[in-house]
Amino acid sequence: MSMTITEKILAAASGKRSVRPGELINVKVDLVLGNDITAPMAIQEFEKIGVPGVFDRERVVFVPDHFVPNKDIKSAEQAKILREFARRHRLTHYFEVGRMGIEHCLLPEEGLVGPGDVVIGADSHTCTYGALGAFSTGVGSTDLAAAMALGEIWLKVPPSIKFIYYGELPPWVGGKDLILSTIGDIGVDGAAYQAMEFTGPAVAKLSMDGRFTMANMAVEAGAKNGIVPPDEITREYVQGRAKRPCQFYASDPDAEYARVYEYDVSDLEPVVAFPHLPSNVRPVSEAGHVKIDQAVIGSCTNGRMEDLRIAARVLQGRKVHPDVRLIVIPGTQKIYLQALEEGLIKIFIEAGAVVSTPTCGPCLGGYMGVLAAGERCIATTNRNFVGRMGHRESEVYLSNPAVAAASAVAGYIVGPKEVL
């Protein structure tokens, strides 16, 4: 029976020869992930189950990353719950401050997720790992607790939507523009409980960092998961870092899709998602020079090396506008160190930016850049809902790193060509 890549992974993980959309299955998981917001609730439920320990201490991963280093007493107590559980159950992969990173940047970097895996995490952006050709999806804390105990999860097989991108990407256009444009086309519920499969010549030429960005924001279209069929770029990325054997799956040529979308990206320009939905997308040339108070470059969406290099290209030899606060957040300690070795941190600081330790921080209005009433921020993050980054009367605009950096220099939203 012909299947999509998502269906093949779920069939293998459920011990079936084939699965079909809508089928309810029990799936064995390769990795279970929790963070400092969601894991404490999961731990509370886990302890009610009464099992002596987690199903596999190598496959339960905790990453405190949202409010760390701890911003207040409550966040310190949250992190303490994770720390003590990790010690008590001797978890192999617990990433404390100084060794941590933003979870969805950190796990691929550490080789803890790979092609063919089934990964669940109590964080909606767990779908990021689909960039590697894995099935990965966010779950609730109760589901996480059950998976920590049993090593499996019950779910419904999602139908798949195929997105084919043709053409050559123009300068300063990347994965963030592809996914924002797609969400702008289909809407924030356009892929509700479906798998978004990203393919085509333009995706085949994207770096892993660009692919991570696309898979990361699949949930912003309501998707169950986003996935990129693994290829040689994927193989090169996982080679030497994967902690487990990988399985490269591909969709059958005659696999069935709920829908197929085709895009020619040759004339695509950088885009900006205006408040208060990721689907409210406009080309940057039509942004209208919206004045900003803050710019954020980082997050699990765009806090990787490629993102920092792009931002540095725009900022080098320039100064952040005096009315703008620019916050740069490397996704992991290794990314931070590499950026330091490449001289990028020097460029950021000389431009007038502040560089933070890895943290989700301002993305969810946690800290390190919370907005006041009436303030506007352009960010490389993934959500711009009402009150997402602070006060309900603040505004968040989403963009790629080049646009965020250029806007920080100009003081209003512009494309990089306008400041170079």
Q: Cis peptide leading into 69, omega within 30 of 0?
A: yes
291 Ramachandran zone, left/alpha/beta (phi>0; psi -120 to 50) = beta
Q: How far is CA 380 from CA 1, 46, 89, 393, 394, in A?
A: 41, 35, 36, 20, 16
Give DSSP secondary structure letters for 58-85.
TTEEEE--SSTTT-SHHHHHHHHHHHHH
Lookup: tokens for 376: 């506007």
* Biggest CA-to-CA distance, the chain: 61
Q: How far is CA 396 from CA 57, 117, 188, 370, in A?
A: 39, 34, 16, 11
pLDDT of the chain, 420 residues: tens digit per residue: 899 999 999 999 999 999 999 999 999 999 999 999 999 999 999 999 989 999 999 999 999 999 989 999 999 999 999 999 999 999 999 999 988 899 999 999 999 999 999 999 999 999 999 999 999 999 999 999 999 999 999 999 999 999 999 999 999 999 999 999 999 999 999 999 999 999 999 999 999 999 999 999 999 999 999 999 999 999 999 998 988 899 999 999 999 999 999 999 999 999 999 999 999 999 999 999 899 999 999 999 999 999 999 999 999 999 999 999 999 999 999 999 999 999 999 999 999 999 999 999 898 888 889 999 999 999 999 999 999 999 999 999 999 999 999 999 999 999 999 989
225-227 vs 195-199, strand pairing mode: parallel
CB atoms within 10 A of CB 340: 13
Lookup: tokens for 25: 């299955």
Lookup: tokens for 367: 């800290």
pLDDT of residue 182: 98
Lookup: tokens for 374: 């009436």
User: The pTM is what?
Assistant: 0.95
Residue in the structure block whose two tokens are 């966010």: 138
Domains in the chain (CATH in brackets) are 5-262 (3.30.499.10), 271-418 (3.30.499.10)
Nearest-angstrom CA–CA distance, 249 and 3: 10
Nearest-angstrom CA–CA distance, 257 and 128: 21
73 burial type by CB count under 10 A (0-12 exposed, 13-18 middle, 19+ buried): exposed
Nearest-angstrom CA–CA distance, 155 and 225: 12
Nearest-angstrom CA–CA distance, 162 and 200: 10
Query: According to DSSP H, which parts of 15-63 are helical?
Result: 39-49
Lookup: tokens for 81: 């719950």
- Give CA angle at 226 (189, 182), nearest 5°: 55
- Cβ–Cβ under 8 Å, residues 226 and 214: yes
CB atoms within 10 A of CB 193: 16
- Give CA angle at 259 (256, 260), nearest 5°: 95
